[in-house]
Amino acid sequence: MSTTTAPPSPLDPAAIRTAVDQLLYGFLDEQERATPELPELNLFTGNLRDMLRAGGKRIRPILCLTGWHAITDRTPPPGVWRVAASLELFHAFALIHDDIMDNSDTRRGRPTAHRALATHHQARPDADSVGVNAAILLGDLALGWSYELLHAPDVTPAELAAVWPLLNALRTETLVGQYLDLTATGDPTADTDTAWRIIRYKTAKYTIERPLHLGATLAGATAAQLRCLTAYALPLGEAFQLRDDLLGVWGDPEQTGKSTLDDLREGKHTVLVATALEQATVPQQRSLRHRFGHPRLNEADAEQLRTVLTDSGAQAATEQLIIDKRDQALEALAATHLQPTGPFWLRQFAHTVTTRAV
């Protein structure tokens, strides 16, 4: 009984979630109190609170804390928690603006921000465009506040200087990744290179690598340790996105909170679809090109597309890729010199995110 396979872990995802949410709710309260002469602000803070309460996995905050624990067994200082919360608020910004660009109606099982804000103004003839415009402003506020969270007395100048270059890179990568995504969308091709590039910037670095690096950097990680985390993060991020793409087509909307028509209707350029176009027979290709990205695509069209994605072998190939990428991530961990808590939880995480239904 001198050792156990599971080290006593200070990493409790539910506890991280609670702590980060508390910090965020407290922060939004502060913003309201700071500008009593602008009560209209409460519409925006209220919308962000609703979005946080509605769900979300808090993956980035959890990985930020994981990055810390992968490097040191010290208790994370307040600065680490602030960075974790900042990532979640940045993510709220990214979702709000993405949902506008993708013209999505639901998120986390509720109306997206621009739809909720349109409903708030439903008495106006121009409610839809006011909703979109107000949601652009809401995203802008969330982006700015994600940095305001870090300019607090309990984040030291040294901590801020250490994390800022990473946050700047994260923002550029994510936004240019979103640009790659939006210019590839609606133009179905067998170009898997572009699909992989979108995944790298929009998901693998944004969701996995940068959050891990942020926590690890605050803990004083060496360059070699950061490289090991990257070797884990990039393939796992790819596997994460491939699972997301599958859930976007075959997921249970009750669980994912998203419609299974959105990605198909929008014509989202994914490895799944690019693979199907590469491997499909001519009639399958014709069916795919005819329906994919059609703005009025219905459930019957979606069912036809699902059949092509399955029959072409693209679905099975994607499932296999997820396993391969996950194994590659796990292998990278074996080579690291990290504190045991980190890899233990990173292994668990790799299994969870690649087999998830949510």
Spatial distance between the Cα atoms of 93 and 88, rounded to a whole number of angstroms: 9
Spatial distance between the Cα atoms of 185 and 101, rounded to a whole number of angstroms: 11
In the complex, least distance from residue 175 CB atom to a second copy, rounded to whole angstroms: 5
Between 213 and 232, how does the x/- string for binding to a second copy read (CB under 8 A)? Answer: --------------------
Q: Are 237 and 207 in contact (CB under 8 A)?
A: yes
Beta carbon nearer to a second copy, 136 or 321: 136
Between 43 and 62, how does the x/- string for binding to a second copy read (CB under 8 A)? Answer: xx------------------
Residue 212's identity, in one-letter code, is L
In the complex, least distance from residue 252 CB atom to a second copy, rounded to whole angstroms: 29
Residue 183's identity, in one-letter code, is T
By CB under 8 A, tell whether 189 contacts a second copy: no
Coil/strand/helix, residue 111: strand
By CB under 8 A, tell whether 35 contacts a second copy: yes
Report the run of H or E that residue 344 belongs to, with start and end: helix 341-355
Spatial distance between the Cα atoms of 271 and 275, rounded to a whole number of angstroms: 6
* Residue whose C-alpha is closest to residue 43's, from 130, 148, 144: 130
Between 167 and 186, how does the x/- string for binding to a second copy read (CB under 8 A)? Answer: -xx-xxx-xx-xxx-xx--x
By CB under 8 A, tell whether 26 contacts a second copy: no
Beta carbon nearer to a second copy, 183 or 281: 183
**Subset of 312-331 contacting a second copy (CB under 8 A):** none
Spatial distance between the Cα atoms of 191 and 80, rounded to a whole number of angstroms: 39
Tokens representing residue 199 in the block:
């995944």
By CB under 8 A, tell whether 36 contacts a second copy: no
Report the run of H or E that residue 110 belongs to, with start and end: strand 110-111
**Subset of 103-162 contacting a second copy (CB under 8 A):** 121, 124, 126, 130, 133-134, 136-137, 139-141, 143-144, 147-148, 151, 157, 160-161
Please list, in sequence order, all residues whose beta carbon lies within 8 angstroms of the beta carbon of residue 44, skipping any fewer than 6 positions away.
137, 138, 141
By CB under 8 A, tell whether 191 contacts a second copy: no
By CB under 8 A, tell whether 31 contacts a second copy: yes
Beta carbon nearer to a second copy, 207 or 284: 207
* Residue whose C-alpha is closest to residue 308's, from 326, 291, 329: 291
Contacting residues toward a second copy, per CB under 8 A: 31, 34-35, 38, 40-41, 43-44, 93, 97, 100-101, 121, 124, 126, 130, 133-134, 136-137, 139-141, 143-144, 147-148, 151, 157, 160-161, 164-165, 168-169, 171-173, 175-176, 178-180, 182-183, 186-187, 201
